[in-house]
Amino acid sequence: MPTLFLVRFAFITSLIFSSAAQADKHQDYIKEIGKSIEALTEDKTPALIKKAEAGDTKAELLLGMAYFYGKAVKQDYREANKWFRKAAEHGDVVAQYQLGVDYAAGLGGEKDYTQAAKWYTKASKQGFAEAQFRLGTHYKMGEGVPLDYPAAVKWFRKAADQGHAEAQWSLGIMYQGGGGVTQSDAEALKWYRKAAEQGFARAQYFVATMYQNGRGVPADLTTAYMWFQIAQVSGEPSAERFVVELPLKMAPEDVETADKKADEWLKQHPQ
């Protein structure tokens, strides 16, 4: 199979199953799908189409994936969405999620946030963490659904409780700003830390700023500097100036301590 396809499919599955708990729930299914797509060749396509046309849900999903990625067929987002919809209407959670993605991005047609939110909702109700996170974002932004911070918090929390790092960070944002919840810096820091410990760079930066400014925790420049360094290594550009400037305000021994702690953390959490 072409390397580009492997990379693209690996990327989408990493998005779909970004939390450990969610992977436990759906991992076997996605592995089965991945193997089937990997094995798909042009001579096998007619049989797949026949099964899909007969209403086989898995075949409908696979055919949608084939058209989406251009595997053994000519890439065609509209045709992909046609088969995703059939599988989604039969209750397939991956197809429901993928339809949401396609409507939100305008793949195979015009962007339609209402339809995106509709299909994310269906996948979310089946416990799909990435869909829950995206649905929470729709409610936070008022895209395709009414602006509703409590609803955003509800779906962020469901995804965050499954270990979804970006949802954890987003939930922290809601607590820090008091959107849909009682404002709490301590609770915000808790969720930032959960995401940061998973390697989410933006959350690592937020943890650093909380320690720097004494929000939700006593001010601690040593810990702040440690997290700024980690965030920079993780690819967060906002951390760079603090990595340069903060040591100028610190005692040399505190800088050394932060350096050691950052090195230890990075060794334990390879990028």
Answer yes or no: are the C-beta atoms of 64 and 83 closer than 8 Å.
yes
pLDDT of 58-77, one tens digit each? 999 999 999 999 999 999 99
Whole-prediction pTM: 0.90
- Two tokens at 262? 């950052």
Cα separation, 71 vs 9, whole angstroms: 11
Query: What pLDDT is attached to residue 17?
Result: 44
pLDDT of 220-243, one tens digit each? 999 999 999 999 999 999 999 999
Answer yes or no: are the C-beta atoms of 64 and 98 closer than 8 Å.
yes
Answer yes or no: are the C-beta atoms of 87 and 115 closer than 8 Å.
no
pLDDT of 87-128, one tens digit each? 999 999 999 999 999 999 999 999 999 999 999 999 999 999
Closest CA to 130 of 116, 143, 142: 116
Cα separation, 48 vs 130, whole angstroms: 28
* Cα R_g (the chain), whole angstroms: 22
Q: Which CATH architecture has domain 1-129?
A: Alpha Horseshoe (1.25)
Cβ contacts of 215 within 8 Å, gap of 6 or more: 176, 185, 188, 189, 209
Where exactly are the structural domains of the chain? Answer: 1-129
